[in-house]
Amino acid sequence: MRRVRYHENGGPEVLRVEETEVPPPGAGELLVRTEAIGVTLPVVRKVREGGLALPASLGGEVAGEIVAVGPDVTEFAVGERVTGLCFGDGYADFALLHTAMASRIPEGATPADAVALVRCGLVALGAYEAARPAEGESVLVTGAASGVGHLAVQLAKARGAGRVVAAVGSPAKAEFVRSLGADEVVTYEDASWGEPVDIVLDAVGGELLSPCLAALAPGGRLVTYSSGGGTLQAYDLLVGAKSAIGFQMALIARNRPALMEQWRQELWELFASGRLRPHVHAELPLEDAAKAHEIIESRTNQGKVLLRPA
């Protein structure tokens, strides 16, 4: 089978397609023939910035058909379609999924739908839930055209937000986020982000954290789920009685699997009703993984970027 790895840190140019044996599933594992693979900013950053022993594989969101199961697996069967998070060779023709990270793809949904919806949707919904939203509250979403952000905009509307503001890096994305239901669109460079909001869902971090906090009304909540870092001043929280909340999906997956399954079912119900529409910006063959990373690094994507093995 083919897989993509990197032997040194750097930009997209360090990615290499290699040939290797198809791995057998171990205890608690599913072997999945991949039909769609999600490309995410955290993975792109790891390739460039390091943090893993080299040579390294690229994990991530995958979807496809089960072709073999581990010796102790009883809850899944060969032939079923599943999606989930792979921590090993995710950019590959075949991937190993642990059953705890796998979920079935319902009828009427494609592997591309599943990869674009489930993992990014879980992050978007979980971050929104972390803010403990009330009916009619206003919400601002940064990175609103990203894989997670474009779902967060729709989820806020579907959940009853009174006003949704989409913050994007370029005016070229304004039409796209408005089509998702955003009531207002602002760019990061705008001097004002309009009337203060009750909730900010921040996917960017870094230097954008301070403007996010400033955009909150008194008593507002900032939820950050970015890997971009950044620093806040405690005084800025104090004077406005504002809160900063960190959200990490991995903690929910490890400690509250029933809640994650509840959220997953809600996402599929919203998808079936047409109130949640995952958008795929680009679908590229596996050998074009470097091009997929270039799109993510350029921040030009409007929706999800996928790899599609032949």
Q: Where are the domains of the chain?
A: 2-105+279-307, 120-249
Number of H helices, E strands in the chain: 9, 16
Query: Nearest Cα to 90, choosing from 175, 158, 162, 5?
Result: 5
Q: Do domains 2-105+279-307 and 120-249 have the same CATH topology?
A: no
pLDDT in tens, the chain (310 residues): 999 999 999 999 999 999 999 999 999 999 999 999 999 988 998 999 988 899 999 998 999 999 999 999 999 999 999 999 898 899 999 999 999 889 999 988 999 999 988 889 999 999 999 999 999 999 999 999 999 999 999 999 999 999 999 999 999 999 999 999 999 999 999 978 989 999 999 999 888 999 999 999 999 999 999 877 788 888 888 889 999 999 988 888 888 888 988 999 999 999 999 999 999 999 999 999 999 999 999 989 999 999 999 7
pLDDT of residue 278: 94
Give, in words, the CATH class of 120-249.
alpha beta
What is this structure's pTM? Answer: 0.90
> pLDDT (tens digit, 9 = 90+) per residue, 241-275?
999 999 988 888 888 888 988 999 999 999 999 99
Would you say 278 and 117 are in contact if contact means Cβ atoms under 8 Å apart?
Answer: yes
Cα 86 to Cα 72: distance, rounded to the nearest angstrom: 19
Question: CB within 8 A of 88, min separation 6: which ones?
Answer: 23, 57, 59, 95, 96
| 2-105+279-307 CATH pick, 3.90.180.10, 3.40.50.300, 3.40.50.10470, 3.90.1170.50 | 3.90.180.10
Question: CB within 8 A of 118, min separation 6: which ones?
Answer: 61, 83, 84, 103, 264, 267
Cα 153 to Cα 287: distance, rounded to the nearest angstrom: 32
Cα 133 to Cα 123: distance, rounded to the nearest angstrom: 15
> pLDDT (tens digit, 9 = 90+) per residue, 53-76?
999 999 989 999 999 999 999 999
Cα 198 to Cα 242: distance, rounded to the nearest angstrom: 10
